[in-house]
Amino acid sequence: MNRLSLYLSSTRCNRKGSSTRFLLLALATLLLTTLNVKASEEALYGPKAPPGSAFIRIFNSSQAAMLTASIGSKSLTAKGVYSASKYQFLPAGEYTLNIKQSQQPLVLEADHYYTAFLNKSGAISTIEGQAFSQRKKALIAFYNLTDIPLTLKTDNGKGTVIKGVEPNNSGFREVNAVKISLAVFNAQKKIVSASPIALKRGEIFNLFAVSQPNTNPSLVWVQE
């Protein structure tokens, strides 16, 4: 083999090696970029729940400044009086929920949403929520944590929004994005008004009715 042949052969090998190194470098850069984007999204939005997950949160129905709980490998924290924690997802199945000194066995079903709280006796109660993916409407989720049936109406009593929610139960209604003033009624008697709120499309607005000793219940908005 003459010098020219050796040179051409060496050049082809070098080019092949350079192309391979460039391809590996490009793949490594792409993989690193993908991982960084995924990490950034998880930091911003949290990890995505696998299909068939169950969802649970806690609501602080007391005057305590904070309420914490644990279930499975998850921790839940509601910061502030009458506040709710973020939902945590878990595989569907059997669990024990711990809130303060109370424990409650729970069976969490796939694609179900649960809100847990301490009732007046200090025991754990749960109320089911509802998934919502409608982008053109807002969802009002009404949670009745009192001892009496309540109906959610417009503040003037002329329009019924969610009818006849029993104690320790919930009701839901998709509505247009408007500013609205609501109140709860027991039969035809107005019990208490909620603060006016501007509803937004694609969002859930939770309204909790919480019992108060020797007075009317409190109405508290919690937006998701």
Domain 132-224 = CATH 3.40.50.620: no
Single out the residue of 195, 184, 197 nearest to residue 157, CA to CA: 184
Question: H or E element: which one contains 24?
Answer: helix 3-45
**Distance between CA atoms of residues 43 and 136, nearest Å:** 27
Q: What is the mean pLDDT of the segment spanning 60-80?
A: 95
Encode pLDDT of 96-115 as tens digits. 999 999 999 999 999 999 99
Going across the sheet that includes 189-193, the strands are 160-165, 150-154, 182-186, 189-193
**This prediction's pTM:** 0.79
Encode pLDDT of 43-65 as tens digits. 434 578 899 999 999 999 998 99
| Average pLDDT along the chain | 86
Cβ-count burial of 168 within 10 angstroms (0-12 exposed, 13-18 middle, 19+ buried)?
Answer: middle
